[in-house]
Chains A and B, each alone.
Chain A
Amino acid sequence: QVQLVESGGGLVKPGGSLRLSCAASGFTFSDYYMTWIRQAPGKGLEWVSYISSSGSSIYYADSVRGRFTISRDNAKNSLYLQMNSLRADDTAVYYCARGEQRILRWFDPWGQGTLVTVSS
């Protein structure tokens, strides 16, 4: 079955960096768009970034552009999110999710999420 497992979350100081990973299984990872979505504690959902199946198309939400970098390694069936210059308002559970084969519209399925806490 399709499975997405995030890792790499933790506690980091403001201004620090963190790299999240998402391990995919149960489908041909290299065929699909992938995305990151986050959810601040007790809050709603915010789309963060997406990457096309080949990695040639990438886009970021305004709130993270210039600080976060999405990437993928299709040989390792893995998605990444490099987060730099972290701020308190980046504190959230970060989910990876799968899109479709040639486009990203809805998100299905989602991983279980990894918590990132930015605090001094």
Chain B
Amino acid sequence: EIVMTQSPATLSVSPGERVTLSCRASQSVTSSLAWYQQKPGQAPRLLIYGASTRATGIPARFSGSGSGTEFTLTVSSLQSEDFAVYYCQQYNYYYTFGQGTKLEIK
């Protein structure tokens, strides 16, 4: 099983700040990585696939990068609606998720 590790577990940031979330795979997943956003009481929403391609309707302030074992999700200027939990998911060999990073308001 490919283990996905996200860091940090929680990030306290202020609206308007730029933030970068990290995701590491236990072995190479090439560019087979997706990011999801989950707000309380809601289902996850796809943000990024292929490590760097934004899903339909996702604002340009969200960007993804990386390949192999190291990946990042960057939000260029945090809006109030961006405070949520973010998960990475690999699909290179079946499917596993990271444990999530919670973005909270500072």
Contacts and interface: CB of A to CB of B under 8 A. Distances in A.
Interface in A50-75: 59, 61
Q: How large is the interface on B (under 10, 10 to 19, 20 to 34, 35 or more residues)?
A: 20 to 34
Nearest to B4: A44
Interface in B85-99: 87, 89, 91, 94-99
A104 to B, nearest CB: 8
The SS class assigned to the A binding surface is loop
A37 to B, nearest CB: 8
Contacts of A35: 95
B60 interface: no
Contacts of A31: none
A109 to B, nearest CB: 7
Interface of A: 35, 44-47, 59, 61, 95, 104-113
